[in-house]
Every structure is written in C-alpha cells, then in structure tokens.
Chain A
Amino acid sequence: MSPSERARVEAFAKEIRKLTIGMIAELGVGHIGGAMSIADLLAVLYDKRLKAYPEDARAADRDRLVLSKGHAGPALYAALAAKGFFPAEWLSTLNKGGTRLPSHCDRNKTPGIDMTTGSLGQGLSAACGIAMALRLDSNPATVYAIIGDGESDEGQNWEAAMFAAQKRLSSIVAFTDYNRAQIDGTTDEIIGLGGLAEKWAAFGWNALEIDGHDVGAIDAAIETAAAVGDRPTMIVLHTVKGKGCSFCEGQVGSHNMNVTKEMAAEAVAALGA
C-alpha cells in the first residue's frame, strides 16, 4: 500500500469512526466497542478491496460481505453511507422505530447488507452457502465474513470451519475481530480462545494473524488470501475494543454502552480532522 493510499484509507477509517460515534450518540446507547475495533478493516474493504456498487447493491459480480457479528452494524452502516449506498441522513435514525438501520444487520432493510445476522455464530454458515452457490454459478466473487472473538464460542462456527475446508471454499476470506473482550469480561476470563490462528489452521484454513488496526497489513493479508486457491482464509485481527474512541478504547465494558452527545463530541474532536 502506497503512503498516499494508506493516508486515504486511514482517513476513511477515521470517518467511519466519527459517523459511528455520532449515530450511537444520537440514540444514546449502542454497541460501540466492537464497531470501533473493525473500523480499519471496513475502511480497507470499502475503500479498496471489496467490489461493490452503491447504485446497484445486489449486482451479481459484487463481492459479498457477511457481518456475522451483526451488532457491529453501525460501523458498516457508516461505511455504506459514506460510499453512497443510502443517504447519510439515515444514520441519525439508527435503532429508532421504523428505521432501515437496525442494531443488527438486516439484508431486507439496508442497501449493501448481504446477510441478516445478529444471532451469533450463524454468519459463517451463510457465507459457506453463498460461496457454494457462487461456485455453482461460476461466479468468481469473493465472500468476506467477519466474526467476533466472543462469537467464536458458538460451535456453529466450527461446523462451518470444517465444511469450508472440506469443500475447499477458497472464495471465503474471513476475519476474526480478536479484541479480547466479550460482554461479561475478557475472553481469557470467560472462554479463552488461545492461539486462534492455530485453531483455524488446524481446521484446514489458510490462517494469518496481523495487527487489525494496520490498514497496510490488512490490505496485504487480503492480497495473499487471493493467491490461495485450495482453502478458505481466516485473518485473525489483533484489535483493541473501542479503538480510536477516547471514552471507551480498551474498555472491556464497551460492548454496549450509553453514549451522550457530549462524550461523542469529545471523542470526535480527539480523532482530529
């Protein structure tokens, strides 16, 4: 990634963070921690890697994205709005009655959302199904999937992991947001995940682990995944919960928290221009 490209993607990540903080503050409460920790990934995907068409969100040749940790929807909505999938004014309707931006992703409500998620552990199976269907259609699109570390406690992920390896679903490029915090405590306190990349490798995946806030590293990892033709790829992103948000960075309790407009203004100012 060139310095200028890096600057552009980092600026987009900052925009995603600001919009996300703003929309959650508008409501006063939301899943901010796990939204912040995937902002850099979403910036790389939507600013560079993911083939998408804002004006034709269901185009056959688009890349697909399943945000299995559906509660991080607000960060994805920020990226989609910034790229023109829907009017930016929608962002202030997050979670309000009748909104098209619900807390958890809904493929029927929001342009650019490929799969309805929210009941944790289900997204990777859907991604497998999408990849199987694309294979039948000789469609070369990439299927991106993002799962959480707490979500990795769900056994269905590992069913999907075995399936994707068995079927050699190399079109799947998945990410684990390894921010080491889940609702009731750190992952080490609740269900320690240990060497997550080793687990995925043992399940037959091409597994990498990188700094999940280094947009250059994310971009390079996706690049290498594209060259692997016989296995799905899991990129374990070492991240910080609440990253880039002054009032919650590194806080285990930031899964779902109250956010006032004053807190948001301070956090947005701290992010800088």
Chain B
Amino acid sequence: MEALKEMRAVYAETLVRLGAADDRIVVLEADLMKATGTGPFAKAYPERTVNVGVAEANMVGIAAGMSAEGKIPFAATFACFASRRAYDQFFVSGNYARLNVKLVGTDPGVCAAFNGGTHMPFEDLALMRAVPGLVIVEPSDPVSLAAFVQKAAERDGCVYLRLQRKAAPALYKEGETFDFGKAKLLRAGSPDGKADAVIVALGALMAGEALKAADLLAAEGKKIAVIDALSLKPLDEELILEWAAKTGRVVTCENHQKRGALGSAVAEAIAESGVPCKFARVGVDDEFGEVGTQDWLADRFRLTAPHIVAAIKGL
C-alpha cells in the first residue's frame, strides 16, 4: 500500500504551487516551521517567508499589515495559539479591519497528543465561529486540503483553516471541487438514497471515525449516511437539513468541544428549520485536554466510531 501523504506536506506543496503563480502569497511562522512543514516554501521563496519567533500575536498583526499592502499571508501555528493566543489580533487587526489574513491552526484537538492539555484546542472553532464574516474550514483529506488552501488564497477576506497535519487517507479523487459553504455527502445510506440516520463529521479524524461507525452499523443492517461538513462557517445547512429530513436522526461528531462549533451549528440550523428529527452530538464534553497518544485520547474523549455508534443507537 502506498504510504499516506502527510497533510502538512500537501499544505506546503500547495503553497509552493500557488506562490509560483502569485508573488503576493507570503508565509508566516512563529517558530513552528518545522512542525507546520513549510520548509519547501521557505526554500523556494525565502524573501516571502517570515519567521517571527515565538510571538503569535505579533505574527497575526504582521500578517494583517502585509495584507493591507496587498499580500496574501498564510500564518500558521498550533491551533491553540492561533485561537486563544492571537484571538484579539485576528479579530481586530485581521477581521474587523476587513483585511486578508489566512490563519492556519494545526494539531487540532486530540491531535496535540503528547503536548497535552495546554496545547489541546477543543475550543478554537467555537472562538472563531463568533467572529463576524469569518470563513472556517477543516479539510478532511489531502485533496480537500489542497483545494481549500487555494480557495483561501482566492478569497478576499480572512479564513481560519484547521489543519490536522499528519497523514490522512484520501476521501476524494483528484479534481473534486470544493467551496466554502459546501459539505460533501461521503456516503448515502443505500443506493436509493434512503438511510436510518446521518452522521455529520468535521475534519479528517472525525470523517474517518464516522465512516467506520457507518460500517459497524451496516454490519447490523442499518443504513447510515455520512456528511463531511468541511466548511463550518458558512455551514452547508441545505445538505444537512435535507438529510435530517430524510432520516429523522442526526449525529454530529467533531474533534472539539460539543459546545460552540459543529454540534451547535447543526442544532441551531435544525431548530430554526422546524425539520423534525432526533439529534445527538459526539464531541468533548466540557473537559480540558491531557497527554496521551492520539488514539488513546480519541477514545478517552469519546470521539471514536464505537461512541458514534452508541450515540446513534441512543436516539
């Protein structure tokens, strides 16, 4: 089997490709270039690479200033720092100023693994969702990642891109098109489009767990649809509500607190639509992170396929 490609390698090679065609693309790092993997960009375009040191707030402010002069900055750091540490800078200097900062938060949720609770963002998406007009995406595989990095570059306005930087299997074929506000139906429950429930997942880790959960339930004769949310804001309410109406049972799953991100957004959409359905959220239940392997943590925080299965059965 071909070795899976690291998501960070896709991030870097996409930036190199975009940077070749557009010299407005600049990369900012806060002493985590080795982690983010943007070395290839720095090698290709050293003059367009800015390492600010351990100073995330300054990085976002510098990115805002560069965008005021027409540059298209991609600034990356661990998602905990991108959100909690530089929130006001991203809010005011980036978003409120209507500038053009692409902020990339890596190692979301349990992906922070051995860095533990201080580095484990279960709340970045909730924070970002409260920023007016901000576009928020969490790509689920290498193909969607490359597409959304390009979309982010093309958009005139701030974007928060949540990046699981380790390897993830391809869910889409090359050439698949993506857009902000558009989710993907990864799996219909059955060929005739009928299903007993729909899982709405966000991010590579949770999309994978959602598909596994669908397989586990398929073995029991249950038809489960899976939606890859991709774009948290704007959310593809149309597709989600369509399947909520079809199935009457919706479970959201996210590598994040249950409160404030995907689960909340889907619940709000359902409640306001009047679509009658049962609903449950799989996510972190008001807890801080801790150390462990990603797999151990995913189970510890009840994010894995068996927990999704249990949530569906509980409806």
Which A residues have a C-beta under 8 Å from some C-beta of B? 66, 106-108, 114-116, 118-119, 122, 124-134, 136-137, 155-156, 159-160, 162-163, 166
Contact = CB atoms under 8 A, between A and B. Distances in A.
A129 B68 CA distance: 8
Contacts of A119: 88-89, 91-93
A166 B88 CA distance: 24
Interface stretch (B48-56, B116-124, B263-271): B48-56
B48 A159 contact: no
Closest 8 pairs (CB-CB, A-B): A129-B65, A125-B61, A133-B69, A116-B97, A159-B58, A126-B65, A129-B62, A159-B55
B70 interface: yes
A128 B62 contact: yes
B50 A107 contact: no
B246 interface: no
A163 B28 CA distance: 13
Given A159-B58, A162-B53, A125 B66 contact: no
A133 B71 contact: yes
Contact of B97 (A107, A156, A159, A163): A107
Nearest to A131: B65
A5 to B, nearest CB: 32
B92 A163 contact: no
Nearest to A139: B69
Given A115-B97, A116-B97, A126-B93, A132 B53 contact: no
A119 B58 CA distance: 13
Nearest to A116: B97
Interface residues of B, number: 31
B246 to A, nearest CB: 43
A156 B58 contact: yes
Given A128-B65, A132-B50, A163-B62, 14 more contacts: A106-B97, A116-B93, A119-B89, A125-B65, A126-B93, A129-B64, A129-B69, A130-B69, A133-B65, A136-B26, A156-B58, A159-B52, A163-B55, A163-B58
A122 B66 contact: no
B62 A136 contact: no
Contacts of B67: 129
B31 to A, nearest CB: 12
Contacts of A162: 53, 55
11 contacts: A66-B65, A107-B97, A119-B89, A125-B58, A129-B66, A130-B65, A130-B69, A133-B65, A136-B23, A159-B55, A166-B53
Given A114-B68, A119-B92, A126 B48 contact: no
Interface in B124-155: none
A110 B140 CA distance: 41
B47 interface: yes
Most buried by B among A129, A131, A160, A162: A129
Given A132-B65, A159-B57, A160-B61, A125 B89 contact: yes
A134 B50 CA distance: 14
A159 B60 CA distance: 12
Contacts of A133: 65-66, 68-71
B48 A136 contact: yes
A105 to B, nearest CB: 10
A131 B52 CA distance: 14
B98 interface: yes
B66 A132 contact: yes
A125 B62 contact: yes
A162 B55 CA distance: 10
B183 interface: no
A158 to B, nearest CB: 9
A58 to B, nearest CB: 10
Interface string B282-305: 000000000000000000000000
A130 B93 CA distance: 12
